[in-house]
């Protein structure tokens, strides 16, 4: 039996779920196997002990983030300014709206489960200025 920390799951447009072993080349394999991830979503869990070093954006859909342990604060860059959302109780979740730059600050070592529309995802040291 696999765990979400060992395997990612690809959710296809046909609503099938395909396990994919995690590893350093997982994102390259996702792009190659699933055509730049067009119309696919990724279900993955990650453990964090430090703040994210980058911001990211998902231009093709909303992302759901579920707290499994610990606590974290998410920063979202929106049209109305920067918003802060704290996840501190196991099971709390955040929906990051489509096309919203976001990053996370780790308050206590944490585990997070992500349901991410993968197509077109970008990562930058800082979100572009408006």
| Contact of 41 with 11, CB cutoff 8 Å | yes
pTM: 0.92
Band (pLDDT 50/70/90 cuts) for residue 59 is very high
Rounded distance between C-alpha atoms, residue 95 and residue 48, angstroms = 19
User: Is 80 exceeded by the pLDDT of residue 130?
Assistant: no
pLDDT in tens, 73-108: 999 999 899 999 999 999 999 999 999 999 999 999
pLDDT in tens, 107-121: 999 999 999 998 999
Q: How far is CA 122 from CA 23, 54, 63, 71, 104, in A?
A: 19, 10, 13, 24, 15
The dihedral over CA atoms of 46, 15, 12, 20, expressed in degrees to the nearest 10, equals 50
According to CATH, the topology of domain 7-124 is Jelly Rolls (2.60.120)
What are the domain boundaries of the chain? 7-124
Number of H helices, E strands in the chain: 1, 9
């Amino acid at each position: 039996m696999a765990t979400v920390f060992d395997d990612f799951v690809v959710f296809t447009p046909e609503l099938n779920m395909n396990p994919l072993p995690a590893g350093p080349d997982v994102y390259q394999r996702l792009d190659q196997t699933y055509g730049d991830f067009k119309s696919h979503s990724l279900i993955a869990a990650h453990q964090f002990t430090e703040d994210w070093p980058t911001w990211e954006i998902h231009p093709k859909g909303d992302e759901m983030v579920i707290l499994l342990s610990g606590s974290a604060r998410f920063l979202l860059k929106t049209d109305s300014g920067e918003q802060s959302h704290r996840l501190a109780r196991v099971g709390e979740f955040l929906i990051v709206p489509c096309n919203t730059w976001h990053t996370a600050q780790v308050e206590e070592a944490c585990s997070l489960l992500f349901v991410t529309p993968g197509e077109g995802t970008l990562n930058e040291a800082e979100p572009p200025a408006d």
